Structure 1
Amino acid sequence: MLNKILVPQSVAREIQSMIQSGSLKPGEKIPSQREFSQKFGISRASLREALLTLETLGLLKTEAGRGTFVAGGPSSASTHMGPWRYSDSYSVFDVFQTRIMLEGQMASLAAGRLMANQLDEMERLTRQMEDGWAQQDLLANVEADLEFHAIIASACSNAMLRALYDSVREQVTATQRQPIPITDPARMRASIAEHRRIIAALRSNDPAAARIEMETHIRNTARCAGLEP
């Protein structure tokens, strides 16, 4: 399972580096999946997962009948999010609404259970988010965000809620990536500040504050995506 997760991440990082270095230029059509999968020595399924991640982050765009192109990266004026991959089962609105209820409660139940080293790690991940955004390393930014939320979920005292979170984690993490193409610097600064308020509430062992800060953070992220759950 670990390798299945890490291979697409590693390839996505290599392709992002190619875009940042100019090896793949804005507007350029990327090589075919057959050629790219051979280049990286991976399956086409793993490559498709990597490409989908980069498309969701706004680094690539797919045009029907033409192929996949470099979108120009986050410095270009993106005005819409990438395709929502779970549209056949749940809307983005449904997932954000569920996140508010689920992660708000889990944050409440994690207060008083997180170890000092876990809280310190959450501080480090928040700095990684900040640094990743400043360097336009969107993968580092998002990976830090995913791990931040996962640490809180892991400390929730309710085993059934932890199991529910795991069962919908793919959809949850998709909503963490989805707004990135339309996130402006002011919203990212606000998001990072919200993370720090969540940490402060958890350090204070304050369940009510942890719930409020988490719910506020997810609502604000949903608003960035143009939703009002």
Structure 2
Amino acid sequence: MDEDFGKLPVTAVVTRRIQEMIRSGEFPPDSKLPSQRVLSERLGVSRASLREALLTLETLGLIRTLPARGTFVAGERTRAPKAGQNWRHDARHSITEVFQTRLVIESEMCRLAAPEMTDAALTALEAAARTFEEAWRNGDLLAHVEADLAFHSQIADACPNGMLRLFYRSIHDVLTESQRVPIPNTEVSRMETSIAEHHAILAALRARDATEAARAMRTHIGNTAAIAGARLVQDGEADGA
């Protein structure tokens, strides 16, 4: 693998490499990918690293594995799964449970972080929000999700409650997956709204407005949950309404 990806983990490198093969047309829409044995040899990585990369790409909706047929690039004949069908942590937590937890934890962390925001932290958040938007417009879904993770993680890092920070880090794997899952079902109009929601969170944090920061985060997570197939009960709603 000749690209210079710095010190990224092997799985992240191979995931990016396959994404670029898809974006460049080397693997066109609806085409079948080589077998895992062939592809792992071609990329010079282990089968285990390749399988993890393929799972990530499938969660993002770039590829689809069909039983007894193989793995295909998503296209007109091979569409991405419906919302919630690409969640791979069901044995541990449902997608709804994860978003319910995010709604509680992240809105509170955002509220607590608001008065503590430094100029350096705000600059980092602005950079993450900018990359989040630019990567989406460029079709780089991996960079888009990484920027989304960075945005949310930087807010968590600014939270002065050490126990909340520790808990947030302890569920990093399911948080990461929950931010990938909505991608295949996200329409352009929804992504434009998501970009605006990030800017609303950032504006509230810049104003050190704890109440508005928490509200903006709740709105963002609630809207994202709906795209991911999770139904959250928000303030003022009756359960089952």
- Normalising by structure 2, report the TM-score: 0.87
Task: Say if 2:30 is the partner of 1:30.
Answer: no
> 51-60 vs 26-35, which deviates more?
26-35
* CA distance in structure 1 between the aligned counterparts of 2:229 and 2:48, rounded to whole angstroms: 31
Instruction: Tell me if the contact between 1:110 and 1:157 (Cα under 8 Å) persists in the aligned partners.
Output: yes
User: 1:102 maps to which residue?
Assistant: 105
Alignment RMSD: 1.9
User: 1:224 maps to which residue?
Assistant: 227
> 109-118 vs 175-184, which deviates more?
109-118
User: 2:19 maps to which residue?
Assistant: 16
Q: For each residue in 1:158-197, what CA deviation from the matched residue of structure 2 results, as whole angstroms up to 9, or x when unmatched?
A: 1111111111111111111101001001110100111011
Question: 1:144-155 residue pairs with structure 2 within 5 A?
Answer: 144-155=147-158
* CA distance in structure 1 between the aligned counterparts of 2:163 and 2:39, rounded to whole angstroms: 41
Instruction: Tell me if the contact between 1:132 and 1:141 (Cα under 8 Å) persists in the aligned partners.
Output: yes
Give the gaps of 5 or more residues in structure 2. Answer: 1-5, 233-241
Give the gaps of 5 or more residues in structure 1. Answer: none
Report the Cα offset of residue 72 of structure 1. 2.5
User: 2:82 maps to which residue?
Assistant: 80
* CA distance in structure 1 between the aligned counterparts of 2:175 and 2:37, rounded to whole angstroms: 30
Q: Which amino acid aligns with 1:122?
A: L
* CA distance in structure 2 between the aligned counterparts of 1:50 and 1:78, rounded to whole angstroms: 17
Task: Say if 2:134 is the partner of 1:170.
Answer: no
Q: Which residue, out of 119, 122, 126, partners 1:123?
A: 126
Q: Which amino acid aligns with 2:74?
A: A
Q: Which amino acid aligns with 1:69?
A: F
* CA distance in structure 2 between the aligned counterparts of 1:124 and 1:22, rounded to whole angstroms: 30
Q: For each residue in 1:175-228, what CA deviation from the matched residue of structure 2 results, as whole angstroms up to 9, or x when unmatched?
A: 111010010011101001110111111111111111111111000101222332
Q: For each residue in 1:43-86, what CA deviation from the matched residue of structure 2 results, as whole angstroms up to 9, or x when unmatched?
A: 2222111111110110000111222111139xx97561452110
Q: For each residue in 1:72-102, what CA deviation from the matched residue of structure 2 results, as whole angstroms up to 9, or x when unmatched?
A: 39xx975614521101111100000000001
User: 1:183 maps to which residue?
Assistant: 186
User: 1:44 maps to which residue?
Assistant: 47
Q: For the pair shown, which has the larger CA radius of gyration, 1 or 2?
A: 2
The secondary structure found in structure 2 opposite 1:112 is helix
Report the Cα offset of residue 113 of structure 1. 2.1
The secondary structure found in structure 1 opposite 2:178 is helix
Using the aligned pairs only, state the percent identity: 50
- Normalising by structure 1, report the TM-score: 0.92
Q: Which residue, out of 140, 152, 162, partners 1:159?
A: 162
Instruction: Tell me if the contact between 1:4 and 1:46 (Cα under 8 Å) persists in the aligned partners.
Output: no
Corresponding pairs, count: 225
